Structure 1
């Protein structure tokens, strides 16, 4: 109970819960559209799900008001990271997130009538472009972290094996050598991800989130069910990192 009180007291946690509910509605609506027979009951249920999804989206936008200023503050702190690659990736990611949230705030004002006549489609596309840029940079950061850990794992493997116990890469021809090398790299990759749950969760979350702006910008066509499933999955992973802070990738 105490953990739930701490969780619900955070605005980010409430926003993640609304996000999970929003994409759960999208997933349920896609399933209903696919299996429904066009009856009045199923059409009414689908309409209610779509209205609930829209209200949840608007509620999330309200909770994110002022988030762009927070993202700018995090970007400023990222400038002091010692690793130049992490410094570049995290600063650029937070700057794009700040721009994404600023556009999202403008969209909220337009949809609530504060800014009547706002070109919501244009602002929505602009928002999703910044969101896409932030996710691409986040995935680049994940790839960099994986590369560094792979290098450390490879060095540790070489130190732990004598030359006569190492896999023989020279005896079976070029194709076999390449195949064995790929097997070894895959084993190291799985080991690295298994030993680093925060990195694995961050990679999965960013990969799932990537589907959403790609679909909204028309860069990759997928079904509403896939978008709903990816959004729900990434939301659940985000909630896990809030409930268990050690699962959050640092810095």
Structure 2
């Protein structure tokens, strides 16, 4: 109970719960869209989704500054690759939140002479670039883990035993693929934080790709991926040990 109270007392925790609920509503709406007997329920779900989206925009009002501070911290990293990936991700995240704030101000009437479509497109582009930077970091970390694992003498012996047990046909058809997959899985097995972050960022990709028309998807796919990403976000927030660092 203390964990739940602590979780909901922070605005980030509330935002993640709202996000998960928002995507759950969107997914339910998609699944029930052809059910004529659930018209009232569909209307309720759409209203709830819209209200949750509006509420989340309020929670995100100060996130631009937080992202700028995060970008400053990432500049201090000694690893140049991590520095580049994370700084780019944080800067684009700051720009995304700025666009999001402008859209919120437009929706409540604080700003009038604003092209909503242009700002929405800009927000999607910044979000996409943020995810690309984050995924680049994830891939870099995975490669580092694989290199470290491959240098381990005990692991090399384990891999040799595994390859000796593999069918000869598979080795001929797909050379080295079995060894690569074995190394990848063994490297990630003891690093769930990397796996969760990679899955989360990959799932988030579908939303900006769809909005920008780069890879169109239906609302069901976007909602499902958003829900998976949101659940992972809640898990990593409740259990910080599952959150990737830096």
TM-score under structure 2 length normalisation: 0.92
Residue 12 (structure 1) aligns with: 12
What is the alpha-carbon distance in structure 1 between the residues aligned to residue 63 and residue 131 of structure 2? 17
| Residue 102, structure 1, aligned to residue 98, structure 2 | yes
Partner residue, 1:195:
190
* Counterpart in the other structure of 2:107: 111
| 1:101-250 aligned within 5 A | 101-157=97-153, 160-161=156-157, 176=171, 179-250=174-245
- 1:116 Cα deviation after fit: 2.5
Please list every run of 5 or more consecutive structure 2 residues that lacks an aligned counterpart in the other structure.
Answer: none
- 1 CA distance for matches of 2:109 and 2:185? 50
Measured in 1, the distance between the counterparts of 2:94 and 2:213 equals 23
Q: Deviations over 1:208-248 (max 9, x none)?
A: 00011111111111111111111111000000011000000
State the Cα RMSD in Å: 2.1
Separation of aligned partners in 2, 1:178 and 1:76: 48
Matched residue of 2:214: which SS? coil
More moved, 177-186 vs 141-150: 177-186
Question: Matches of 2:155 and 2:66 in 1, distance apart?
Answer: 45
Equivalent-residue separation in structure 2 for 1:75 and 1:2 (angstroms) = 32
Alignment-derived partner of residue 22 in structure 1:
22
| Secondary structure of 1:161 counterpart | helix
1:90-136 deviation line (CA, Å, top 9, x unaligned) = 11100000000000000110111111343211111110100000001
Cα distance in 2, alignment partners of residues 159 and 243 from structure 1: 33
Distance between the aligned counterparts of 2:43 and 2:2, measured in 1?
37
Query: Which stretches in structure 1 are left out of the alignment for 5+ residues?
Result: none
